[in-house]
Structure 1
Amino acid sequence: MNLAEKIDKILANEVPFLEVAIYYLDFTVYFANLLFPLFLFLSVIWFTSKLANNTEIIAFLSSGVSYYRFLRPYMIGATIVCIGAFFLGMYLAPIASQGFNDFTYKHLKKGKKAYENTNVYRQLNENQYLYVGYFNVTEKTGTNFTLEEFDGPKMVNKISANRIQFNEADSTYTLFKYKERRVGEFGDELISEAKRDTIFDFDLDDLTPVKYIAETLNLNELNDFIAREKEKGSSYISRYEVVRYKRWSLPVSAYILTIIAVAVSSVKRRGGMGVNLAIGIAIGMVFIFFDKIFGTLAEQSDFSPFIATWAPNMVFAVLAIYLLRNAKR
């Protein structure tokens, strides 16, 4: 279905077949990582409903086996899936995310922004702060550039320019309408030039942070990246931390959804498997709704990313306990 929707753009951009094949491999891994708890949830409902419709569960429990013993194979299976999903999310999915997003913005979303290139504010280190009003990724040029240096609370140097241009040939920067203010003990020194070529310690990535950068980093890289971004005073810390905490919460959600799936589908219903699947799909959609709402809330406000990513698990854990107690009866 995805190929049918994208085939016109792929053909129009004359994308090589190998790139398309790699893209759909990345596409599969990327969405499998995002949706595996839902896939596991629905598969458990389908399998358990088949057992319930054949009255095999009633026979199993009537033989004197406890409901928790009946639940044990499901939890063992969920553990195996969660271990695989953990390594998938921490190490393999970031590689797939890089390829998926690169292909998307290169061939399918031409003209759309993959970069946070408007009002970029960065703390480069303890003393230096950078601001760019707008940075054009294609032309590697920015407007309203400012670089401020402090010694404690006191500003000691400020560089500003109407426009900044990155030169790939020698990794230098050209500043247009360059102005520099050096704050001295007995007076300030003002320097003004129409154009100046210079070298800065910061990287081009500091001027153009990528929206999906956190998704493309493995566990260790992501932890180091977030630590560096906190030092720089990045305004996207909440977004990055939501990505980090989700990598831990998603495997745990598989356990919770497995318990809910077994509790819902182990009861033989008049409507059969269709009723169980309908209930399961409804619960799954509510779970995804909660996950998206809390994730967006954390990214767009001061709401705690930790609470945002774990709140759906906590809410559904309570639901799982309630359903499990009713199912035992």
Structure 2
Amino acid sequence: MKILDWYIIKKYLLTFSVMLLLFIPIGIMVDISENIDKMLASEAPADEIVKYYFNFVLYFANLLFPIFLFLSVIWFTSKMANDTEIIAILSSGVSYLRFLRPFLIAASVVAIVAFVMGMYIVPNASKGFNEFRFEYIKKGRKELRDNSEIYKQITNNDFIYLKAFNFESKRGDFFTLEHFEDNKLEYKIEARSLKFNEEDSTYTMRGYKKRIVGAMNDSLISERKVDTIFPFDVEDLTPVTYMAETLNYQELNKFIEKERQSGSPNVSKHLLVKYKRWSLPITAFILTIIAVAVSSMKRRGGMGVNLAFGIAIAFIYIFFDKIFGTMAEKSGFSPMLAVWVPNIVFGVLAFYLLYNARR
């Protein structure tokens, strides 16, 4: 690579790193000011708080890295334009696409790091971050688990239903299990309550009834109390809402397949997490091209105009991402399309702006 390439790559990576280092402490201070009272009230241990903010840094750096990347590229490219460096580079015979090359090389470095972190490092940080928040900050909140109207397929032949399940007490109400063979109901178990016993991993059913379906007549068995085992774990009944975020890529694929087989209504939400991990590196290239195309020309108003335009585009991108994500979670909209439509739209915008900038 030539001197020009190294010059731009160093500016790219250094400005992006400084942007992260400047904003992350601000984010930490804002979080502390909002939650310190709750941490003290919950008596959160000091070492747990330190771990929480380490995970906080990784979690939000990964979440907001496209915006930081976009603004940092606009910042240093606008400065180069104001200092007439870009005019000098292009006047020396360097084509605009050749000028863009070191930006894309630097974006590749960032994209690779973001990809590895998103697949294997950030999930563990997300687990620690969310567990701390729900234990010490959002203590007692109900949004941790979707614990009402549970209907799941637990094996190829068995389906269960629970009207509600309390994970803290390990107790559920109005339990039903239906067993099928060759698509025909063989027997049905009903219980007024279901209690998980941690000491021996058994389940206690009260108000037990079992109806065995016969060719001519059914037989009914009733008991006040029955202890038994089932081919599902208590975690399978009400997985935490952030479970998909805490799994690496291989674990996430297995979890999604398990949720799909069980008939979980949250499969679309989990698929969104999976596809976003793949789309995030591509976003780095798209936003880099837009940032360079927007800020490589010297404008009246200097960097302020470019930054204002960049912030506006960043908010529009977030808006698109949230709208399509909500559509995928709440309706039948494809999670893959929900993730890739914003990138496709902004990819078209990137090439349009690049074409105009070359002219």
TM-score normalised by L of structure 2: 0.90
Which amino acid in structure 1 is aligned with residue 160 of structure 2? Answer: L
**255, 268, 274: which one aligns with 1:244:** 274
Matched to 2:347, the amino acid is A
CA distance in 1, matches of 2:115, 2:103: 18
Quote the residue 1:171 is aligned against: 201
Match of 1:313 in 2: 343
Which of 196, 199, 217 is 2:226 aligned to?
196
| Secondary structure at the counterpart of residue 131 of structure 1 | strand
Uncovered stretches (5+) of structure 2, i.e. residues with no partner = 1-29
Paired amino acid for 1:324: L
Alignment of 1:250-289 (within 5 A): 250-289=280-319
Question: Match for residue 135 of structure 1?
Answer: 165
Question: What is the aligned partner in structure 1 of residue 156 from structure 2?
Answer: 126
In 2, the alpha carbon distance for the partners of 1:165 and 1:285 equals 48
Query: 1:45, 1:265 within 8 Å by CA — same for their partners in 2?
Result: yes
What corresponds to 1:152 in structure 2? 182
For the residues of structure 2 that align with 1:10 and 1:232, how far apart are their CA atoms? 37
CA drift of 1:171 comes to: 0.9
Q: Which residue of 2 aligns with 1:65?
A: 94
1:163-213 CA-to-partner distances (Å, cap 9, x unmatched) read 111111111111111111111233211011121111111110121121111
1:226 aligns with 2:259: no
Report the Cα distance in structure 1 between the residues aligned to 2:249 and 2:297, rounded to whole angstroms: 40
Distance 1:280 1:308 in 2: 23
Aligned residues of 1:122 and 1:206 also touching (Cα < 8 A): no
- For 1:86 and 1:28, the matched residues in 2 are separated by 17
Q: How far apart are 1:11 and its partner, in Å? A: 1.1
TM (norm. structure 1) is: 0.98
Matched residues in 1 for 2:209 and 2:297: separation? 75
Letter of the aligned partner of 1:181 in structure 2?
R
> Are positions 1:99 and 2:155 aligned together?
no
CA distance in 2 between counterparts of 1:130 and 1:254 reads 44
Inter-partner Cα distance in structure 1 for 2:34 and 2:151: 37
Divergent runs of 4+, >3 A: none
User: Who is 2:74 aligned against?
Assistant: 45
Letter in 1 for 2:205: L
1:241 Cα deviation from its structure 2 partner: 0.5
- One-letter amino acid matched to 1:23: Y
Shift of 1:42: 0.5
Structure 2 match to 1:33: 62
Separation in 2 of the partners of 1:16 and 1:40?
A: 34
Matched, 1:56 2:90: no
2:141 aligned partner? 112
Partner of 2:212: 182
State the AA in 1 paired with 2:114: A
Q: CA deviation at 1:5?
A: 0.9
SS where residue 179 of structure 1 aligns? strand
Q: Report how far residue 152 of structure 1 moved.
A: 2.1
Q: Which amino acid aligns with 1:319?
A: L
- Kept in 2, the 8 Å contact 1:121–1:235? The answer is no
Q: Percent identity over the alignment?
A: 60
Q: Which runs of 5+ in 1 are unaligned?
A: none
The CA deviation string for residues 87-108 of structure 1, in whole angstroms up to 9 with x for no partner, is 0000001000100110010000
- Asked if 1:304 corresponds to 2:304, the answer is no
Distance 2:326 2:354 in 1: 31
Q: Does 2:119 align with 1:90?
A: yes
